């Protein structure tokens, strides 16, 4: 379940933050708590940073890249469809 929040959780946020509920084991949570304390960060920030790192690494993963979808998914700007050429528009007859 996710929820939208209008408040950025960190200074570098450029878009609206959303909440994501994740189920993890008690052991994983305990390790996450320790890592967060050692890094002087919140558990939420550790998770967000880890996800950002994983996504960046996935962008150059050969298994992901061979699917040819990485550019469409991670492009900074949506791909723009090229307008039809004038000759193609001129050659097209009404009703075809």
Q: What is the dihedral of CA 19, 48, 31, 43, to 10 degrees?
A: -60
Q: Measured between alpha carbons, how far is 56 from 51 in angstroms, rounded to an integer?
A: 9
Residue 81 has pLDDT above 60, yes or no: no
Q: Measured between alpha carbons, how far is 90 from 93 in angstroms, rounded to an integer?
A: 8
Residue 85 has pLDDT above 60, yes or no: no
- Identify the helix (H) or strand (E) that includes residue 32: helix 26-38
pTM of the model: 0.56
Residue 90 has pLDDT above 90, yes or no: no
Q: Measured between alpha carbons, how far is 50 from 46 in angstroms, rounded to an integer?
A: 6
Q: 40-69: per-residue pLDDT in tens?
A: 999 999 999 999 999 888 888 887 777 766
pLDDT above 70: percentage of residues in the chain: 55
Q: What is the dihedral of CA 66, 69, 70, 74, to 10 degrees?
A: 180
């Amino acid at each position: 379940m996710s929820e939208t929040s209008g408040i950025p959780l960190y200074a570098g946020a450029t878009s609206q933050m959303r909440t994501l509920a994740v189920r993890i084991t008690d052991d994983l949570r305990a390790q996450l708590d320790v890592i967060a304390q050692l890094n002087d960060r919140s558990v939420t920030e550790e998770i967000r940073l880890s996800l950002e790192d994983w996504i960046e690494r996935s962008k150059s993963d050969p298994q992901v890249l061979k699917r040819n979808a990485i550019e469409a998914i991670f492009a900074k700007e949506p791909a723009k469809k090229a307008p039809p050429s004038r000759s193609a528009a001129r050659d097209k007859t009404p009703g075809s």
